[in-house]
Amino acid sequence: MRNWGIKGAALSVAALVAMLLGACDRDDQQIKVYRVAKAPLEETPPAAEASMPTNASSPNADAPAAPPSAQRPQIQWDVPSGWSSAPASAMRYASFAAEKNGEKADISVVTFPGDGGSDADNINRWRQQVGLGPVDSVDALIVPQHAGALHFSTVDMAGPTARVLAGWTRQNGRAWFFKLTGPPRVVEQEKSNFAAFLQSVHL
């Protein structure tokens, strides 16, 4: 009888210690290192209210729209037909999506006070996003484009699986970046729409 008690106690304490040790080695406390294939262009997940759990009773109830901010910098443009508005995240002024044959392109409008970083840094960052290596001189890649009184710098860069068209302008101490990214085929189809979009911008 006494042996059983000691065995039982030892077994129980051993089980508890094992659990405590296991708990101390939890994944969420460990720094992990891994190698992964280059990430494809990823879109920003929409805000939580845009998604619905499948056990919700009224999945079509519209989430309340964010009130327009009176403090936002003023800009106007014409959205090409075929582009749909996508939820803007905190650091995006606006987002659109264009879809052709099941492929999706992401159009973003981002603005920063100041110059928004050097052209070389920005272009090399976009090159990385589409799987291209950095270049020392970016001057040869930049094509100027005029839209009314605005002067845009534009680039068109295609990687193995993705292509980016970007246009940017600096006005009144603020930089505006317009970017179209996606699979090469849909970007090619949307190229004229993107050019028209830049032409329609008024600051």
Partner 1 sequence: MLRKLIAIITSLKLTIICLVAAMVLIFAGTISQVHLGIWEAQQRYFQSFFVWWPPEGRGFQIPIFPGGHLIGAVLLVNLIAAHAKRFQWAWRKLGIHLTHAGLIIMLAGGLFTDLFAVESHMRLTQGDTKNYSEDPRRMELAVINTTDPELDQVTAIPEAVLRRGGTIEHKSLPFRIAVRHYYQNSRLRMVDEPGVTLQPIANQGPGAQVIVEPVPRATGVNDRDLVSVALEIIPAKSAPLGTWLVSEALDVPQTFSCDGRTWQLVMRPARYYKPYSVTLQKFTHERYLGTEIPKNFASKITLIDPDRLVNRNVLVYMNHPLRYRGETYYQAGFEKDDRTSILQVVRNPSFIAPYVACIVVAAGLLLQFGYHLIAFSRRRGPVAA
190 class by beta-carbon count within 10 Å (0-12 exposed, 13-18 middle, 19+ buried) = buried
Choose which of 16, 143, 161, 192 interacts with partner 1 (CB under 8 A).
16
Given the complex with partner 1, which of 103 and 188 has the nearer CB atom?
103
66 binds partner 1 (CB under 8 A): no
Q: Are 182 and 110 in contact (CB under 8 A)?
A: no
The token pair at 93 is: 């002024």
92 binds partner 1 (CB under 8 A): yes
Given the complex with partner 1, which of 41 and 198 has the nearer CB atom?
41
**Could you give the C-alpha distances from 185 to 50, 123, 173, 191, in angstroms and in order?**
28, 21, 36, 10
CA distance 30 to 27: 5
Q: How far is CA 42 from the centre of its chain?
A: 6
Choose which of 65, 90, 140, 149 interacts with partner 1 (CB under 8 A).
90
74 binds partner 1 (CB under 8 A): no
Given the complex with partner 1, which of 68 and 102 has the nearer CB atom?
102
Q: How far is CA 43 from the centre of its chain?
A: 4
Q: How many CA atoms lie within 13 A of 150 on its CB side?
A: 23
CA distance 97 to 163: 15
Q: Is the dihedral of CA 78, 83, 84, 86 positive or negative?
A: negative
Tell me the three state secondary structure of residue 69: coil
Given the complex with partner 1, which of 66 and 91 has the nearer CB atom?
91
Question: Residue 99 Cβ, how far from partner 1 at the closest point, in Å?
Answer: 9
Subset of residues 177 to 196 that bind partner 1, contact rule: CB under 8 A: none
Q: How many residues bind partner 1 (CB under 8 A)?
A: 67
Subset of residues 93 to 152 that bind partner 1, contact rule: CB under 8 A: 102-104, 110, 112-114, 116-117, 121, 124-125, 128-129, 131, 133-134
Residues within the interface to partner 1 (CB under 8 A) = 1, 4-9, 11-13, 15-16, 19-20, 22-23, 26-39, 43-46, 48-54, 58-60, 63, 71, 89-92, 102-104, 110, 112-114, 116-117, 121, 124-125, 128-129, 131, 133-134
